[in-house]
Amino acid sequence: MTENEREPYPTTGLLRAVRRKADMSQRELARAAGVSPSSVGRVESGARAASVALFSRLVDAAGMHLLVVDDHGRVITPMLDREDLRDGAERRYPSHLDTITDPEPGEWWADIYGLARPPETFFRDRRLRDAMRRRSQWEVRVAKYRTSPEPPDPRWSDRWRWWQPPSSWP
């Protein structure tokens, strides 16, 4: 087993590759990143685990960037932090949920109880959220999805058939 296979994330090998690609010595990289040369040496030798902040700083100093990509190779961009989207206790909403600002009737779970609608809410049902997201992307990104078939509108799915008018109505 090699050194990089034991490591959960191969920062040592990546840092050496970055430095080689940038054609920089450890001292030059350390100077450009504003860290000590021994820090670079310890990270490259595996004697020190680099934090994300340190690793990013070293990679940036070499003129490269860290990216997060999904299984299909698409770059994941950071979420914007909006200070005006907080709950009553000033907490952020869960990042895995799509926040709905100014919800319409029926978009909040407590509408059926006649409770006052909050200024923002989110969908908890993952299948409904994902279906609505696919539909929204298809509607907004016309050029990208021009040849794709129209996804079903989740508001008209089997789950919501109870409020649709029967077929016998005129």
The partner residues of 133 in beta bridges, in order of sequence, read none
Domain boundaries for CATH 1.10.260.40 within the chain: 3-61
**What are 53-76's pLDDT values in tens digits?**
999 999 999 999 988 888 888 888
Provide φ and ψ at 92, rounded to 5°: -70, 150
- pLDDT for 159 beyond 60: no
Q: How far apart are CA 147 and CA 36, in angstroms?
A: 55
Q: Taking 70 as the threshold, does the pLDDT of residue 7 lie above it?
A: no
Tell me the CATH number of domain 3-61, given options 1.10.260.40, 1.20.120.450, 2.30.30.60, 2.60.40.420: 1.10.260.40
Instruction: Indicate if the pLDDT at residue 103 is higher than 80.
Output: no
Instruction: Tell me how many degrees the CA angle 26-29-31 measures, rounded to the nearest 5.
Output: 105
Q: Give me the chain's average pLDDT, please.
A: 78
Q: What does the pLDDT average to over 17-41?
A: 93
**Nearest by Cα to 27 from 39, 38, 15, 37:** 37
What's the pLDDT tens digit per position in 104-135? 777 777 777 887 777 777 666 777 777 777 77
